[in-house]
Amino acid sequence: MANIGGKWGAWSELLAGLPYDVQSRLYYTLANYQGVNPASCYRLPLLASTQRQAIAPGGQAVDAWRFTTLTAVYGISGTIENETVGAGGIGVSDLTPVYGSEVGVQIDFNNGSTTFLGTAQEPFFLSSMGDKNHTTRMDPVIAVQNDQWNVTWNGNAALVNGVFSAITLHGVKIYAATGAI
């Protein structure tokens, strides 16, 4: 039986255990869903990564996430790897170090009309987000079914070698027994 006496009414059981700000954002979104039975809903963790992108010096790479159901995103992490042999061709000892501050990131949604991270006026770099062992926590952002978020990486022209990067979103996805909501 659903816990209808909790802080979030019929949604209390589904939201239990999530961070308070995530509970609040999801509740105010779910409260507007007509015809969805809270007792038939369940949640799954969100770990959605981009494809591993090659970023050339001064170049750009793009990818996107498409959300399949109501989702609360509240963490982000990224990786950056340099597997390019340096100019001398002598293997790993000849690699030029790569820094996250040499790769700019921009994430937008609503067909590009809403910027989530990074703009020309307020750049965001891979060095500003956590890695796979240290997720950067952020205020929850709600993505509804079929939303698409676009991510663009911009390699600094001063990069000596091409690098590889991926970005992972962390959060929670909400489904009903009948499927995506």
Query: What is the pLDDT at residue 168?
Result: 96
Dihedral-angle region of residue 143 (phi above 0 means left; psi in -120 to 50 means alpha; beta otherwise): beta
Euclidean distance between CA atoms 108 and 115, whole angstroms: 4
| Distance between start and end Cα atoms, the chain | 21
Helix residue ranges, H only, 78-118: none
CATH architecture of 45-174: Sandwich (2.60)
Lowest mean pLDDT of 11-15, 59-63, 87-91, name the range: 87-91
* Residue type (1 letter), 18: L
Instruction: Identify the helix (H) or strand (E) that includes residue 139.
Output: strand 136-143
Q: What is the pLDDT of residue 144?
A: 93
The single residue listed with the structure tokens 């994430």 is 107
> What residue ranges do the domains of the chain occupy?
1-42, 45-174
Taking the C-alpha atoms of residue 128 and residue 102, their distance in angstroms, rounded to an integer, is: 11
pLDDT at residue 5, as a whole number: 62
Write down the mean pLDDT value for the chain.
Answer: 89
Cα(102)–Cα(80) distance, integer angstroms = 10
Asked if the model's pLDDT at residue 83 lies above 90, the reply is no
Q: How far apart are CA 5 and CA 48, in angstroms?
A: 34
Is the pLDDT confidence value at 92 over 60?
no
Q: Could you tell me which residue, 95 or 7, shows the higher pLDDT?
A: 7
Chain segment 110-164, per-residue pLDDT in tens: 877 899 999 878 889 999 999 989 999 999 999 999 999 999 999 998 887 788 9
Averaged pLDDT for residues 69-75 = 97
pLDDT level of residue 105 (50, 70, 90 thresholds): very high
Share of the chain above pLDDT 70, in %: 90
- Match 């997720």 to its residue by tokens: 135
Question: Which element (helix H / strand E) includes 49?
Answer: strand 41-49
Characterize 31-69 residue by residue with b for buried, 16 or more Cβ atoms within 10 angstroms of its Cβ, and e for exposed.
eebeeeebeebebeebebebeebebeeeeebebebebeb
